[in-house]
Amino acid sequence: MVKITESDILEFIRKSSRGPYALRRLMAVWKVNSKDRLDFKKLLQNLIDSGRLILIKGGKYGLPRKMNLITGYVKAHPSGYGFVIPDNEDQEDLFIPPGSMREVLDGDRVIAREDTDRGKRVATIVRILERAHKIVIGRFKKSKHISFVIPNNPYLTQDIIIPKTKGLKPKKGQIVVVEILEYPTKYRNPTGKISEILGWPDDPTMDFQIVIKDNQLPNTFSSEALKELTNYQSITEKDLEGRLDLRELFTFTIDGEKAQDFDDAISLENASNNTFRVWIHIADVSHYVPEGSVLDQEAFSRGTSVYFPDLCIPMLPPELSNELCSLKPGKDRLTISIGIDLDREGKVLNFTISPSIINSNERITYHQVEDILSSKKILINHHTLQITLQTLINLTQTIRMVRMRNGSIDFDLPEPEIILDLQGDVQSITRAKRTIAHNLIEELMLKANTLVAEFFIKGAIPVIFRIHEPPEETDILNFFEFLHGLGWIKDNTTNQKLEHSDFQKIQEYFRGKPEEEVVNYLLLRSMKRARYSTKNIGHFGLAMKHYLHFTSPIRRYPDLIVQRSLKRVLQGERENIINDTTLPEKLTMIANHSSIRERIAEEAERKIVDMKRTRYMQERIGEEYRGIISSIMNFGFFVELEEIFVEGLVHIRNLGEDYYHFDERKHQLEGYRTKKIFHIGDRVLVRVIHVDFQKLHIDFNFISKLN
């Protein structure tokens, strides 16, 4: 049999003007004989399993999109409905009515047909390609006649029935792991068996277990993957071939206090009084993780590292992420280095990219940078570092001003910093301080990512970009309504469109005001989510025409893919990459998968934060706090506390003896009798009255307004 690939089959059917093909006709195209028939059918079956082909009645094979079918994954909503998120980036999401959600679970990959229901586009599930959940974490419940588990994940809306069988016998209320035996049908809930009893929900050490298992985050590596690590114990002379030796450069890393996986390091050379050469060194992970290796397969399945308070679920084994690839001081490390020539205005005059080897001189933290820069004395041990840092601070501040002038939007929303004790209990929850060192690193990494993207664009080389699409008009109109309620827009301007620079004007107007954080948050919500794609449509938020992720290959899989392609181009393989007809489809698959894994990681990280916040507040019922009204609903308003980074609800029933009218346009509540008005941004004093850990919900009682 002539060598046939899956891409060959798809390309043939895609270009054909005929309808679906029978097996014998497809075999005739490539002259497949009876001996090779089984291998050919395996190719077709792989395409069916992945949703790229569909087998219809009569045994014919066709493309889903030619039959008005869509392949994608299900995104469920706690209220019972859902959406099909298409694999094809050009297709819009399809609404799944509650009745059609009975047979699918959140995250399932499906083939769906686009139908209409009373003029509305809806999805009808045709086939389930892959189940997202083999296990579910939840709370065990038992009645007289039935046992069941209530899923911990709010997006799994069906209870799992536990048939009476021998085996583990949890107590009512315990958290358990359920292995799904039968998936739901139109008329029946899923059934399962309990495979593990995790314990009681009030145990703080349970939180990580619950989130890890609930999101199916792999936190161990196979023996095969670990065995591959034995091939890389030390750097050899062969490893140095073709590499730029930059070990004599003064080089340092800047990271958080608890970081162990150092992706990037920096050096600075003065070319003249008016120009500088900034070196950005990125760990050469591709040297240790070859394409197709077991390590590569496991890194792909994870997609990203996941960061919890005091815990990291790494994309790569710690032997790589924290050791061989980590740019530790005093250690020779293989890197890819970008040397950027800049003038004093931050303009790029020239840049070079090369495989390299470095030896970092210093490992400093964000807070240490501030200490070094704030010292008026010349620090003997840090003199070179002191001068280098000050020069880089001045340079990156200029680069940032240029970026902002070009329309880049800086959301700069605060992030929680959660400190745990040895037992896993929360000691404190504060707003993580963003320092001048954070800005320094951010600007340099943005610059490196942009230049590498331009390198691929100039060479017309397929690659995975990091894209951010412009917001939808309806989302902007809703944001206008919100701004109108805050008084920023005086007249009725809801029919106008916001220009790119207008977002900056809005942020500037609210900077330093009580509403600033809320406005930035809602502005972010009006935007689309950034994602990975092979189509370069630019990055709206950063106001960049070309952008990708390259600088964190230890913790992000797309960065590793970009790194591999970059090294191949530098080694003279550009034509081979361009002529590889299978590459675009492979990169699209990786981009889609990486976007999904990123969302899963973000949800897991957010869930842990919510769990720790709720646990922390369980011990503070009756305590009073100052806070700011962050959002207003028809049932009450949410308050974000000033002293600790926690948000809770003041329900209307806890506002005193009055009825309240919700003005959606003005985003305010007004009392009918007292005429008392609550706006977003009002400072209030509240008391903690109830905490529901299962629902991760905190209730406050309103005490008074504050000046």
Is 68-130 the same fold as 6-65? no
Chain centroid, CA 360 distance in Å: 30
66 has a pLDDT exceeding 80: no
* pLDDT given at position 494: 47
Angle between helices 583-618 and 206-214 (to 10 degrees): 150
- pLDDT tens sequence across 76-91: 998 899 999 988 777 8
Amino acid of residue 520:
N
Alpha-carbon distance of 573 to 588, in angstroms, equals: 21
Q: Please tell me the CATH code under which domain 6-65 is placed.
A: 1.10.10.10
Q: What is 620-705's CATH topology?
A: OB fold (Dihydrolipoamide Acetyltransferase, E2P) (2.40.50)
Pick left, alpha or beta for residue 58 (phi over 0 → left; psi -120 to 50 → alpha; otherwise beta). left
Cα dihedral 104/109/111/113 (nearest 10): 60
- pLDDT tens sequence across 565-622: 999 999 999 999 999 888 998 999 999 999 999 999 999 999 999 999 999 999 999 9
- pLDDT tens sequence across 388-430: 999 999 999 999 999 998 889 887 778 888 998 888 889 999 8
CB neighbour list of residue 426: distance below 8 Å, 6 or more residues apart: 204, 418, 419, 420, 612, 613, 615, 616
- pLDDT tens sequence across 508-546: 888 887 778 888 888 888 888 999 999 999 999 999 999
CB neighbour list of residue 680: distance below 8 Å, 6 or more residues apart: 485, 486, 515, 518, 629, 630, 631, 632, 667, 668
Lowest mean pLDDT among 116-120, 257-261, 376-380: 376-380
Enter the pTM of the model.
0.85
Cβ pair 132, 107 in contact under 8 A: yes
Q: Please tell me the CATH code under which domain 68-130 is placed.
A: 2.40.50.140
- pLDDT tens sequence across 326-344: 999 999 999 999 999 999 8
- pLDDT tens sequence across 183-235: 999 899 999 999 999 999 888 888 999 999 988 899 899 999 999 988 887 88
* pLDDT given at position 442: 95
Average pLDDT of the chain to the nearest whole number:
89
Average pLDDT over residues 47-64: 81
% pLDDT > 70, the chain? 96
Alpha-carbon distance of 466 to 394, in angstroms, equals: 28
User: Domain segments of the chain: what residues?
Assistant: 6-65, 68-130, 135-201, 223-465+538-607, 471-527, 620-705
CB neighbour list of residue 160: distance below 8 Å, 6 or more residues apart: 136, 138, 148, 149, 151, 178, 180, 189, 190, 191, 192
Phi then psi for residue 374, to 5 deg, are -80, -15
Q: Please tell me the CATH code under which domain 135-201 is placed.
A: 2.40.50.640
Average pLDDT over residues 128-143: 92
Cβ pair 335, 327 in contact under 8 A: yes
- pLDDT tens sequence across 658-681: 899 998 777 789 999 988 999 888
Alpha-carbon distance of 456 to 361, in angstroms, equals: 32
Residue 299, classed as helix, strand or coil, is: helix
Question: Residue 10, class by beta-carbon neighbours within 10 Å (0-12 exposed, 13-18 middle, 19+ buried)?
Answer: middle
Phi then psi for residue 434, to 5 deg, are -95, 125
C-alpha dist (Å) from residue 77 to 82, 404, 668:
5, 37, 27
